[in-house]
Amino acid sequence: MRTIRFMCFILVIATLLAAWGCTDVMLDDTSSSVGGESLISVPDSSADVSDGEASSAPESSEESSSSAVIDNTPLYPESYDERAVYFGEHWVLNYDFTDAYFNNSVFVGNSIMLHYKNYVNNARVTDSTFLGNSTFFAAASFSLYNNLKQTAESPDCALPSYQGKPMKITEAVGAMGVGTVYLSLMALNDIAIYANGETGVEETYKLATKLIEELNTAYPRVKVVVLSNTYLHYSSDYSSHKLNNGSISTLNIKVLDYCNANGIDFIDVSTVLLDGNDCLGDAFCSDVGSAAACHLTKYAYNAWTVILRDYAARKQAGTWQNPDSMKGLMPSR
């Protein structure tokens, strides 16, 4: 009997110890759960989200925005009126984390690009990382023709300067030691110097492709990226003029086809600025009423920045593709 009682006593003690051990594990689980809730704010709708989706939530709004764009969320509204408002005060596609992509690069162009330089410099007053440490090589009245024909000694020299010296584009790229050239087509100062619009488009196309090939030959490790030429405001778009939206459009399409055939990145920064008449919209044109209304507003450069950052995000994600085509335009009148 004593043996039986002793064995029963041992069994009771073991049962109590086991129960105490299980309670300790449950307390740890509860403590862990409470601790998690105190550190992480779980949305009310979390019950509708699987554990896997919840654990992969982005850590910042920038990551979330980037993913949305790379997943082909539209960059901007389709209608002109909505775009004018969106790129006015409400644009939100700030991919700051991609701006380092523009380090060691130069943006090349005429007065359109020169004004973008002013826009970027102004943005850098409050954000020193805006478009990375990219620089600019641009001047008013600069053109592909001037780049070919002029020298620093030309009496009407329109070449941009680097370190105080007027230079051709290829010379400046070498002196700067950059890795990427964002080359803006400069048709606004090129097409009209020829006998007619058709000749102007063909000769400007030859100058553009010759320059690209010259840069690729001189600096095989430098990447050339082409930016489309922007268009004219309705008030300046006449079929009787050699330079009109039809001739600009034809040049854009020809250069895009060349880029697609030769593996060169081409960024369309002009279609986004078109209004319902397929002209540079009022909201995006800074000199409406001038003889050649073509210069851009801050709103237009907001659009450029969104498009450039989207390009950088897609390049880093390995999803960038050139446009297959661009809309062919006709002169408005």
pLDDT band at 32 (very low <50, low <70, confident <90, very high): very low
- What pLDDT shows up at residue 89? 74
- Token readout for 200 is 């102007």
- Token readout for 204 is 């400007």
Judge whether 287 lies within some domain: yes
Q: Containing H/E element for 105?
A: strand 105-109
* Total domains present in the chain: 1
- What pLDDT shows up at residue 1? 44
Taking the C-alpha atoms of residue 120 and residue 158, their distance in angstroms, rounded to an integer, is 22
- Token readout for 160 is 């941009």
- Token readout for 112 is 């359109």
Share of the chain above pLDDT 90, in %: 71
- What pLDDT shows up at residue 91? 72
Judge whether 100 lies within some domain: yes
- What pLDDT shows up at residue 242? 96
pLDDT beyond 70 at 62? no
Judge whether 205 lies within some domain: yes
Question: Is the Cα dihedral 168, 174, 177, 179 positive or negative?
Answer: positive
Mean pLDDT, rounded, for 88-112: 82
Share of the chain above pLDDT 70, in %: 76
Mean pLDDT, rounded, for 8-20: 39
- Token readout for 142 is 């600069």
Mean pLDDT, rounded, for 272-279: 97
Express each pLDDT in 212-245 by its tens digit.
999 999 999 999 999 999 999 999 999 999 999 9
pLDDT beyond 70 at 53? no
- What pLDDT shows up at residue 97? 58
CA-nearest of 255, 258, 265 to 315 is: 265
Express each pLDDT in 157-177 by its tens digit.
999 999 999 999 999 999 999
pLDDT beyond 90 at 208? yes
Between strands 223-227 and 180-184, the pairing is parallel
Give the CA radius of gyration of the chain. Answer: 30
| Sequence-distant (≥ 6) Cβ neighbours of residue 127 within 8 angstroms | 96
Mean pLDDT, rounded, for 35-60: 27
Judge whether 253 lies within some domain: yes
Judge whether 47 lies within some domain: no
Mean pLDDT, rounded, of the chain: 82
- What pLDDT shows up at residue 95? 54
Please give the residue that has the higher pLDDT: either 205 or 50.
Answer: 205
Judge whether 169 lies within some domain: yes
Please give the residue that has the higher pLDDT: either 60 or 105.
Answer: 105
- What pLDDT shows up at residue 70? 66
Taking the C-alpha atoms of residue 166 and residue 163, their distance in angstroms, rounded to an integer, is 8
- What pLDDT shows up at residue 65? 40
- What pLDDT shows up at residue 93? 55
- DSSP letters, 8-76, are HHHHHHHHHHHHHHHHHHHHHHHHHHHHHHHHS---GGGGGS-HHHHHT--SSHHHHHHHHHHTT--SS
Mean pLDDT, rounded, for 111-136: 96
Judge whether 293 lies within some domain: yes
Between strands 165-166 and 135-138, the pairing is unpaired
CA-nearest of 153, 300, 330, 313 to 228 is: 300
Contact call for residues 191 and 204 (beta carbons, < 8 A): yes
Q: Which domain holds residue 192?
A: 76-317
CATH of the domain at 130: 3.40.50.1110
- What pLDDT shows up at residue 326? 96
Q: Containing H/E element for 138?
A: strand 135-138
Judge whether 325 lies within some domain: no
Mean pLDDT, rounded, for 291-308: 95
CB burial of residue 301 (10 Å; 0-12, 13-18, 19+)? buried
- Token readout for 91 is 């644009």
Contact call for residues 137 and 160 (beta carbons, < 8 A): yes
Mean pLDDT, rounded, for 305-309: 93
Contact call for residues 300 and 87 (beta carbons, < 8 A): yes
